[in-house]
Structure 1
Amino acid sequence: MSGDNGSPAASRRRFPAPAPPLDNDDLLSDILLRLPPLPSSLPRAFLVCKRWRRLVSDPAFARRFRARHRRSAPLLGFFTERDGILSFTSTLDPPDRLPRGHFSLKLEDKCRFYGCRHGLVLIINRMDRQFLVWEPVTGDLRRIAFPREFGNAGNKLVQHAAVLRAHGDVHAGEDHQSIPFLVALVGSDKACTRAFACVYSSETGVWSNLISTECSSMVPMHYHPSTLCGSSLYWLLGPRMAILEFDLDKHFLGVIDVPLSDDSYRMFQQWVIPAEGGGLSFLCMSDYSAQLWTRKVDSDGIAGWVLGRTIELDKLLSLNCDVAFSPMISGFAEEDNTTFFMTSISGFGVSAFIVQLDSARFKKPFSLANLDYHHPFATVYTAGKSILVRCRVTT
């Protein structure tokens, strides 16, 4: 065959050169998905040009962005409850700080806030015998009836509960995504001689069978949040101090002694936290010192507590030791192993500060309106059309 049509050069001219990466919408979207999951990331990209605006404002892109970063979600701030109002306070610096009042919610009558985790908020309504699971980012509000063994129809008492993301992927809807979740419930008999537990799955819509363990004269403290370590949830028991473990994978319920076995529950003074490298730790306050105990197994297979590091908070910060009350633990962020402390700091009054336990680094303190538990809230927040302002109620 002769002529230019058969030459290698002519063959190459028949196909247009591939578009540069930034001219290809699919490749550009993949690049934009790798932006850090901070509140300012997508709004800043939105302002670059019309093309970027079109890509990042697409609800499908927002779903992909949240799904990609949900396991490394940043700590946005914390929730507190007072006078029937669930209030959110941002702890980020500008331009990522969310406006005051963002994510806040007026609770229904007879409702109480139990905690938050994985971008989900758990509320209990004892009068209607149901839990409410709220997604502040999408506005979704799901209602879950108590198991039949609890409430008016049963003889068991709800003592505490926790919410967490299930192992499955998000369920994508037309314009938002729903996080598959679990609700773990712990309760007791009326005599408080046994503890009971079960778990609800949003994917199956049913509660698991009850499991129980002996737990004489101890119940989970109502106002103290749970802690997730690995596949287990932990609650502090009182009035005699102990730890209740609910292993969700093994469906096991048990009681663990605390390092000081004769200790009683002291509000704002003790917390169960994950240990470095896995396992369980116990944080307790002694004046201005934060003692970190770790649970270890010896050569005979017997588990016990070992005192590890002690963090001297008065040396870490300029604490006003003359007039301040001793630092108190008011919250713990599982995502980055940081602890919220409350105390009085020179120039700030009653304040909270956040300490990263692994490095002992701390964040600038901020003033507090009330002494209360702070429930850290970490999620991927994407502002724009994908955010539903009005709550969507599903049953």
Structure 2
Amino acid sequence: MTSHRCRPSSVVLSPPLEDDDLLHEILLRLPPQQSYLLRDSLVCKRWRRLTADSHFLQRFHLHHQRPPHLGVFSQPGWSIIFTPTLDSPCRIPPKCFSLRLNNWLGWDLAECRHGRVLLLNWRKHQVMVWDPITNNCSLVDFPPEIYIIYTVAALSANDKGHVHGSCQLWPFKVVLLRTYVGDGDQTVTGVYSSNTGLWGDLTSTVLPDKYRGICMDISSSSTLVGSALYWLSSSAIVAFDTDKQRLAVIVNPFRAKRVDTVQIIQAEDDGLGLAAFHGADYNQRCLEIWERNPNPYGVATWMLSKSVIPQKIFVNYTAMPHVVQYVESVLAIFVRV
């Protein structure tokens, strides 16, 4: 009995970078800054074709989930100034995203979300939605039923399918908030859709008895947690569910604190949370993170999740830090000292 040993056939393996599928997987793991894709697209025509593919770009944004934070908008005087936060070569020159408001008196910077900047003009009864990428500006008139809007918020019209990095492809919504005190004591919201170019029906809720006759100094900026927008005041939190079109008022557990030391954030379980500076002595100062959780009886209570002691940052500052803004896309709190 004889045995025959089979000789393995010679297989020619192509270099890994010659395989489009494998190269896609490698490029997918690049840092989220667009400059990396731009530089790789200059390698050759094949790499340029792969990095410009719409299917790859969608996978790239979904893979990274959270986009890099490009910078901060501020309003000194009559201009909207962009201050970049990334280092070179990803750093965007400030002049690329700065907006001059010559002869446009009365425009105030409200907030930024989903790649758009929102401005409010009480004199002209208008809201401006500015896209810094395309430099397009959309003007929205106040609804005829309301002549004064306390604050506004902007968000992508289809946030459930929203993909960061392609915000300019999405229509937008504008949500207004107006609180009436002494005239029915109620809070009113309305939603404008760029798809229809119209304001929807106004939604209102009567303030609880404990807030009757009290001026709710609602902060100008909102926080988006899930499908709900939240605004903070010294005595309460106003919540508006954008899906169910419902308004609610929640007790602010830090009623004795200044509003600029407390900030609404997204908790680790994707629910509602608060970040609050605690401690008068800067040696004992800490940032407390609170979460709102329902108990077995269905009643939501606030619970301390953790405390952060930032002595290395604030060791030379004796005054209490001011919370400027919470950025949902990168889960970052901006603090002014």
Match of 1:42 in 2: 37
Q: Deviations over 1:290-309 (max 9, x none)?
A: 12221111111111212221
Indicate how the Cα distance of structure 1 residues 63 and 150 shifts in structure 2: closer, same or farther if over 3 A, else same: farther
Q: How far apart are the structure 2 equivalents of 1:113 and 1:63?
A: 35
Match of 1:292 in 2: 289
User: Offset of 1:330 from its aligned partner?
Assistant: 1.9
* Residue 320 (str. 1) matches residue 315 (str. 2): yes
3-state SS of 1:43 partner: helix
Match of 1:98 in 2: 92
Question: 1:278-357 alignment to 2 at 5 Å?
Answer: 278-287=270-279, 288-314=285-311, 317=312, 319-321=314-316, 324-343=318-337
CA contact (8 A) 1:115 1:122 kept: yes
Question: 1:187-226 alignment to 2 at 5 Å?
Answer: 187-189=178-180, 191=182, 193-215=185-207, 216=212, 217-222=214-219, 224-226=220-222
User: Offset of 1:197 from its aligned partner?
Assistant: 0.4
User: Offset of 1:318 from its aligned partner?
Assistant: 5.0
Q: How far apart are the structure 2 equivalents of 1:101 and 1:29?
A: 34
Structure 2 letter corresponding to 1:263? A
* Residue 139 (str. 1) matches residue 145 (str. 2): no
Question: 1:1-395 alignment to 2 at 5 Å?
Answer: 35-50=30-45, 52-53=47-48, 61=53, 65=57, 69=61, 71-107=65-101, 108-151=104-147, 157-167=148-158, 177-189=168-180, 191=182, 193-215=185-207, 216=212, 217-222=214-219, 224-238=220-234, 241-260=235-254, 262-263=255-256, 266-287=258-279, 288-314=285-311, 317=312, 319-321=314-316, 324-343=318-337
Indicate how the Cα distance of structure 1 residues 148 and 296 shifts in structure 2: closer, same or farther if over 3 A, else same: same
Match of 2:4 in 1: none
Q: How far apart are the structure 1 equivalents of 2:127 and 2:88?
A: 35
Structure 1 letter corresponding to 2:40? A
Indicate how the Cα distance of structure 1 residues 103 and 63 shifts in structure 2: closer, same or farther if over 3 A, else same: farther
User: Offset of 1:67 from its aligned partner?
Assistant: 8.6
Indicate how the Cα distance of structure 1 residues 190 and 281 shifts in structure 2: closer, same or farther if over 3 A, else same: closer
CA contact (8 A) 1:186 1:198 kept: yes
Higher helix share: 2
The two structures, once aligned, show a CA RMSD in angstroms of 3.2
Structure 2 letter corresponding to 1:37? P
Q: Deviations over 1:249-296 (max 9, x none)?
A: 111111100113x425x2420111111112111111123211222111
User: Offset of 1:208 from its aligned partner?
Assistant: 1.6
Indicate how the Cα distance of structure 1 residues 279 and 230 shifts in structure 2: closer, same or farther if over 3 A, else same: same
Q: How far apart are the structure 1 equivalents of 2:168 and 2:20?
A: 23
Structure 2 letter corresponding to 1:65? L
Unaligned 5+ segments in structure 1 are: 1-18, 152-156, 171-175, 344-395
Q: How many residues align?
A: 306
CA contact (8 A) 2:155 2:173 kept: yes
Higher relative contact order (CA 8 A, sep 6+): 1
Q: How far apart are the structure 1 equivalents of 2:314 and 2:37?
A: 39
Higher strand share: 1
Q: Deviations over 1:92-133 (max 9, x none)?
A: 233222223331112332111110011111111222222111
3-state SS of 2:109 partner: strand
Structure 1 letter corresponding to 2:195? E
User: Offset of 1:237 from its aligned partner?
Assistant: 2.0
3-state SS of 1:40 partner: helix
Q: Deviations over 1:23-74 (max 9, x none)?
A: 7999978976775431312331243235545776x6xx57973795275322
Q: How far apart are the structure 2 equivalents of 1:80 and 1:31?
A: 37
Structure 2 letter corresponding to 1:184? V
User: Offset of 1:328 from its aligned partner?
Assistant: 2.5
CA contact (8 A) 1:63 1:177 kept: no
Unaligned 5+ segments in structure 2 are: 1-13, 280-284
CA contact (8 A) 1:259 1:293 kept: no
TM-score by length of 2: 0.79
3-state SS of 2:320 partner: coil
